[in-house]
Amino acid sequence: MAPRRSPGPLLSFSERELQSAESSIVFNPESLSDDPNASKKRWYHYLPLCGTVILILAPQPSWLYVLVDFHLQTLHQPAIFMMHLLITYTLTFMAFSSLIVCLARDPGPANPAPSRLEGADGEGEEIGLTEALMPDRDFSSPDRWCRKCWAPRAERTHHCSICNRCVLKMDHHCPWIGAKCIGHRTYPAFVHFLCCVSLLATYVAVVAGKALWHAFQNPFAVHEFTPVHELGLAFTGGVFSLTVGSFAAYHLYLISTNQTTLEHIAPFMLLRHLPPLPRDGHSLSDPPLEPELSYVQRRIVRDAHGQILIYDVGLKKNWAQVYGWNTKYGWAFRLWCGGASAGDGKTFPRNPRSDEMLAKLAREIVKADVDR
C-alpha cells in the first residue's frame, strides 16, 4: 500500500511575491478613524488665525498717529520717537516670526509607519510584515499604545481628537494659530509668541497712557483727535496685557515645573503612572480607571496631583528641556522666534522622588477601596 501523501497548501507564494506584498502595505492612521475627514481643515478653521493677525496689526495706524503727533510735533523728540518705533516693531516682528514657526512646523510626529520603527540610537530598524501588523506591544497600557491611531505612543504623547493624530508632548489644541496642536516642536515658539504679544501690549499701553495724561494736563497743546487714539491704545493694550499676559505667565509656570497644560488640568492622568497594584484585596483595574474610583479615592488623587510632579527635575533643567540649545549662538534663535524644544520628545528624565510618591498614592487608593 502506497504511503498517504499530506495535502499541500492551497496557495503558495514565492519569496519575491511576499516581499513585494509587504512593501506595498502603507500605514495610514486616518484610515482607522471613524471620520477620515476629521483632520482636514476647512476655510473657517483659519478665521481665528485671521483674527489674531488683525488684532496685532489693527492698532498700528493709531500707534503711528500718536507717535508722530505727540513725540515729533508736540514734544519734538525724534530720538524718543525712533526708540518707540524700534522697540514696538521689533516685538511685532518677533511675535510674527514665532507665529510663523507655530504654523509651518509640525508640533511633533508621534506615529511613524510601522514598517520602519526608530531605535534608541536614532537609526531606523526594518521589521517584517507580521511584526508590523501585530507589534510586540502591550495593548492595555494607556501610555504605550494609542487605540485610536492603533500605533505606538511615546511618553507624554497624547491623541488630539480634533486633529485626529497623536502629538509628542502635546500641550493643548489652539484654534488661534490655525487650528493646530501645540507640541514638542512648537511649544517654545508658542510661549515666545505669548510673551512678545504681552510685552508689546504692555509697552503700547504705558506709552499711550503717558501721552493721554499729558493731553489732559495740556489740552491745547495737542490735536483734538489725538486723545481719542491714545485712549483706545491704552485701553486695548491694557486688556491684552492682562489677558495674554496672564496666559503667558501660566505657561512660564508650567515650564518652571515641567508640566504641560493637559498634565496640569487632568489630575487623573497620574493613574497611568502608578506602579502595579496588588492582585488581591481590591476591585480596581491595573492601572485604575477614573470611573472606578469612589469620591474618597478621587479626592486622594486630586490632593496628590499638586504634589507629585513627575517630570520636575529642577528649575534650571526644566527650562533647559524647553529652551536649551546646542550651538554657540543658539540663544539668538531662541530669542528671535522660540524655536523647538531640545531632545527627541519621546523620553524625559523623571523626578527621583516621583516613584516613591506614586507608590504611596497607589497604597492609599487601594486602602480606600478596601475600606469602602
pLDDT of 214-247, one tens digit each? 888 888 878 888 899 999 999 999 999 999 999 9
Residues 155 and 347: beta-carbon distance below 8 Å:
yes
pLDDT of 279 reads 73
The number of C-alpha atoms within 13 Å of 149 and in the hemisphere containing its C-beta is 27
Does residue 228 fall inside a structural domain?
yes
> Based on the domain organization, do 75 and 139 belong to the same domain?
yes
Report how far residue 262's alpha carbon sits from residue 269's, in angstroms, rounded to the nearest whole number. Answer: 9
Give the chain's count of helices (H) and strands (E): 12, 8
The whole-angstrom distance between residue 278's C-alpha and the CA centroid of its chain comes to 35
pLDDT of 143 reads 59
pTM over 0.85: no
Report how far residue 4's alpha carbon sits from residue 7's, in angstroms, rounded to the nearest whole number. Answer: 9
Closest CA to 88 of 59, 121, 111: 59
Does residue 32 fall inside a structural domain?
no
DSSP output for 307-322: T--TT---HHHHHHHH
Does residue 106 fall inside a structural domain?
yes
> Based on the domain organization, do 296 and 232 belong to the same domain?
no
pLDDT of 12 reads 53
Residue length of the chain: 372
The whole-angstrom distance between residue 9's C-alpha and the CA centroid of its chain comes to 53
Does residue 121 fall inside a structural domain?
no
Cα–Cα distance list, 364 to 44, 287, 360 (Å) = 48, 14, 6
pLDDT of 35 reads 38
Does residue 335 fall inside a structural domain?
yes
Does residue 67 fall inside a structural domain?
yes
Does residue 292 fall inside a structural domain?
yes
Report how far residue 67's alpha carbon sits from residue 207's, in angstroms, rounded to the nearest whole number. Answer: 9
Domain limits for position 62: 42-111+128-257
> Based on the domain organization, do 168 and 251 belong to the same domain?
yes
Report how far residue 9's alpha carbon sits from residue 85's, in angstroms, rounded to the nearest whole number. Answer: 81
Last residue of a domain, one of 257, 273, 294: 257
> Based on the domain organization, do 88 and 168 belong to the same domain?
yes
> Based on the domain organization, do 235 and 159 belong to the same domain?
yes
> Based on the domain organization, do 244 and 305 belong to the same domain?
no
DSSP character at residue 291: G
> Based on the domain organization, do 100 and 215 belong to the same domain?
yes
Last residue of a domain, one of 189, 222, 257: 257
The whole-angstrom distance between residue 171's C-alpha and the CA centroid of its chain comes to 3
> Based on the domain organization, do 157 and 174 belong to the same domain?
yes
- Rg of the chain over all Cα atoms, to the nearest angstrom: 28
Helices 315-323, 226-257: axis angle to 10 degrees equals 110
pLDDT of 370 reads 65
> Please, what is the end-to-end C-alpha distance for the chain in angstroms?
74
> Based on the domain organization, do 296 and 193 belong to the same domain?
no
Residue in this structure with the C-alpha cell 510661549, named with its chain if needed: 191
Last residue of a domain, one of 210, 229, 257: 257
Q: In sequence order, which residues have a C-beta less than 8 Å from that of residue 312 and are 6 or more positions away?
A: 257, 258, 259, 318, 351
pLDDT of 145 reads 79
> Based on the domain organization, do 70 and 163 belong to the same domain?
yes
> Based on the domain organization, do 268 and 143 belong to the same domain?
no
In total, how many domains does the chain have?
2
User: Torsion-angle region of residue 127: left (phi > 0), alpha (psi -120 to 50) or beta?
Assistant: beta
Kindly give the parts of the chain with pLDDT less than 70.
1-39, 111-143, 280-281, 370-372
> Based on the domain organization, do 252 and 303 belong to the same domain?
no
Does residue 188 fall inside a structural domain?
yes
| 50-106 residue pLDDT tens | 999 999 999 999 999 999 998 888 888 899 999 999 999 999 999 999 999 999 999
